[in-house]
Amino acid sequence: MMNWRSLAAAFFGLALSLSFAPQTRAEGGAGPEAMSMGNMCMVMFGYDMIHITAFQPDKSRSEYCDEIPATGRTIMVFDLETPAFRDLPLELRIIRDPVTPITKDTDLEALTVLHLPAKKYTKGTFSLEHNFDANGHYIGLVTLTRDNGEQQTEQFKFRVGETLWAWVPQIAGTILIAGMVFVYWKHTHPSSKKKATETVAS
């Protein structure tokens, strides 16, 4: 006979882990375009990378990655970890996340909140400052122009301020917990009709 008490406890533990455990995320699509590790994001061009770290000096000394906690003045620092990138023009565009996939027909100008034209950063690092005035989801598009003129664009996603999507894991976990509690209660408290039937049968 299945041990429903143990099963319910197992599902309860799983729901708690979904609701409250830290999540390791890969940002920017299905491939290795960008990922986060701790408070540092990395935009990947194959096996080469650019590190990104965000600060809000008017609010705290903390470093942020894909979750910037509030609107306001934000500084983002880009470190070109691959020496060869220092001799390649690099363009950066930050847009509001259109929710739908970005294609060649997407009007980026209409979505753009910040644009840095292509430029070589020979020192291997550069920073930008922007005043985010609205909560929401954003996408950073980093474009490298190779020596042969070929352009390669990768992206990193980040959120500014609290949005509804930030609570999705907690909401899903709460629903799962409630479902498991209901199933357990139904199993341990048979209905009165079922009890009456069993009594007549005996």
Instruction: Tell me the pLDDT tens digit for each residue of 115-157.
Output: 999 999 999 999 999 999 999 999 999 999 999 999 999 999 9
Q: How many residues does the chain have?
A: 202
Rounded CA-CA distance 101/40 in Å is: 25
The interaxial angle of helices 168-188 and 4-20, nearest 10 deg, is 170
The per-residue pLDDT for 127 is: 96
The per-residue pLDDT for 79 is: 97
Rounded CA-CA distance 42/81 in Å is: 10
The per-residue pLDDT for 25 is: 38
Residue 181 neighbours by CB distance under 10 Å: 14
Most distant CA pair in the chain, distance: 88
Element (H, E) at 4: helix 4-20
Closest CA to 43 of 76, 72, 21, 75: 76
45: amino acid identity, one letter: F
Rounded CA-CA distance 94/99 in Å is: 14
22: amino acid identity, one letter: P
The per-residue pLDDT for 184 is: 64
The reported pTM is 0.64
Q: What would the two tokens of residue 162 be?
A: 């609290």
In tens digits, the chain (202 residues) has pLDDT values of 445 455 445 554 554 444 444 443 333 333 344 555 554 588 999 999 999 999 999 999 999 988 999 999 999 999 999 999 999 999 999 999 998 999 989 999 999 999 999 999 999 999 999 999 999 999 999 999 999 999 999 999 999 997 554 445 555 666 777 767 666 666 676 665 455 555 555 5
